[in-house]
Amino acid sequence: MPERIKHKPLDIDKVKPPKAEIHIITDQCKGCGYCIQFCPKQVLEESKEINARGVHPPKIVDESKCILCSFCTAVCPDFAIYTTEKKCAEGC
Amino acid sequence: MVEQVTHPLSKYLRADMMPHIWCPGCGNGIVLNCFVHALDELKTDLDKLVVVSGIGCIGRTAGYTNTDSFHTTHGRAIAFATGVKLASPELEVVIVSGDGDLFAIGGNHFIHAARRNIGVKVICANNFNYGMTGGQLGPTTPLESLTTTSPYGNIEHPFNLVHLAAAAGAIYVARWTTLHVRRLTQSMKKMMQKEGFCFIEVISPCPEIFGRYNKMRTGLEMMEWFKKASVVESFSDPAKAEITKEKIVVGEFVDTQKLSYEKLFHEKIAQINERSIQ
């Protein structure tokens, strides 16, 4: 639970953060690094591979940490990354 | 998961023009991204939207959006948009242009369009210099900044764009940086629903040209500067919102309502026609 919330929310047992699926269109990336730097959960990091444009595109470290804030989708100048909600089976 | 897929917003962009020509780290891509996000959230009819842009890096926006669009000559984006809006008032006209285009050569068009309250929406990407032509000193370059034409530091006082727009009579004035993507999108949505002259200034990083001369060589360094310096203040006095190295006041400045020019114009024509028939 984040430190700024002093009281435990009443529906904390029922509400779960959504599961996200991150899609990276590697060859459109120009390697500005905004998605890596400004991700609130540090889900992305720079990869070792080089794409068609000669830069290092981001790669996913841990997709389960993503909370679907979609900041990376909004801040990407090259339309190279987007997130969708993962539809999961019952019980997850 | 790394795969080859199409972006969900690609229907708003011309596929044959992509990828765009903007440098890595340029804020113009973020302005375009926020704009198409706002269109997507509002479910705008693309047949009822006109995007007009002037000369400059951000002027390419007109070619990238999959709408009716026009890339005008230098400084005449507002003049062209005025004609479009008066000829067909049912169209939504959005101008996406830069600070050099709108405020240097097109300054007069801007203040008179704001005074007459013509119902066009202006999004201005402010990168503090003339990026496309090699980084010359522009009307918004902050004091003591280094550019190719001011190698010892700028001594010209810059324009405060939000103050200018508010004083000239715009009904909606806001300023955001490219880091405030959510609020920028919200602001664009709000602007599209208003009738009258609206203005949004977007502080945009220009790492390749402006940043290179001012010790911010990457887009990330410029964005860190915005993160550190920007202060969100709602409806504060635009006269005090000067951009300095230490402080960039962002937020909404003006949100009022006034009768728009094209409405008064067509009412007046109808009145005169009625009188001449009698």
pLDDT at B1 over 50: no
Averaged pLDDT for residues B110-130: 91
Does residue B5 belong to the interface with chain A, where contact is any CB pair within 8 Å? yes
How many CB atoms are closer than 10 A to CB B238?
20
pLDDT at B25 over 80: yes
* DSSP, res B158: P
Query: In this complex, which of B4, B19, B24 lies closest to A32 when CB atoms are compared?
Result: B24
Residue B29 covered by a domain: yes
Query: In this complex, which of A21, A38, A55 lies closest to B1 when CB atoms are compared?
Result: A21
The answer to whether the CB atoms of B24 and A55 lie below 8 A apart is yes
Neighboring chain B residues of A80 at a CB cutoff of 8 Å: 7
Grouping H, G, I as helix, E, B as strand and the rest as coil, residue B122 is strand
Query: In this complex, which of B1, B33, B182 lies closest to A76 when CB atoms are compared?
Result: B33
Work out the pLDDT band at A89, boundaries 50, 70, 90: low
Query: In this complex, which of A26, A60, A74 lies closest to B33 when CB atoms are compared?
Result: A74
Query: Do the interacting molecules here have an ipTM over 0.95?
Result: no
Residue B88 covered by a domain: yes
The answer to whether the CB atoms of B220 and A34 lie below 8 A apart is yes
Preceding peptide of B19 cis, ω within 30°? yes
Does residue B66 belong to the interface with chain A, where contact is any CB pair within 8 Å? no
DSSP string, A32-43: --HHHHH-TT--
Q: Residue B260 sits in a domain of what CATH number?
A: 3.40.50.970
Rounded CA-CA distance B82/B245 in Å is: 36
The answer to whether the CB atoms of A77 and B2 lie below 8 A apart is no
Sign of torsion over alpha carbons B218, B224, B229, B231: positive
Residue B104 covered by a domain: yes
Work out the pLDDT band at A3, boundaries 50, 70, 90: low
Residue B3 covered by a domain: no
Number of domains, chain B:
1
Residue B81 near residue B69, CB atoms below 8 Å = no
Domain encompassing residue B160? 10-277
DSSP string, A22-86: EEE-GGG-----HHHHH-TT--EEE-SS--TTSS--EEES-GGG-----HHHHH-TTS-EEEEEP
* Class of CATH domain A23-85: alpha beta
How many CB atoms are closer than 10 A to CB B106?
25
CB pairs < 8 Å spanning A and B: 84
Residue of A75, A83, A85 to mutate when probing chain B, most B C-beta within 10 A: A75
pLDDT tens for residues B203-236? 999 998 888 888 888 888 888 899 899 888 888 8
pLDDT tens for residues B47-77? 889 999 999 889 888 889 888 999 999 989 9
The answer to whether the CB atoms of A80 and B1 lie below 8 A apart is no
Residue B134 covered by a domain: yes
pLDDT tens for residues B237-277? 888 888 888 889 999 999 998 888 988 998 999 999 998 88
Does residue B15 belong to the interface with chain A, where contact is any CB pair within 8 Å? no
pLDDT tens for residues B185-209? 999 999 988 888 999 999 999 998 8
Distant-in-sequence contacts of B115-118, Cβ < 8 A, 24+ apart = B115/B168, B115/B169, B116/B197, B116/B261, B117/B169, B117/B171, B117/B196, B117/B197, B117/B258, B117/B259, B117/B260, B117/B261, B118/B81, B118/B82, B118/B85, B118/B86, B118/B197, B118/B260, B118/B261, B118/B262
List phi, psi (to 5°) of B226.
-60, -40
Neighboring chain A residues of B9 at a CB cutoff of 8 Å: 79, 82
pLDDT at A74 over 50: yes
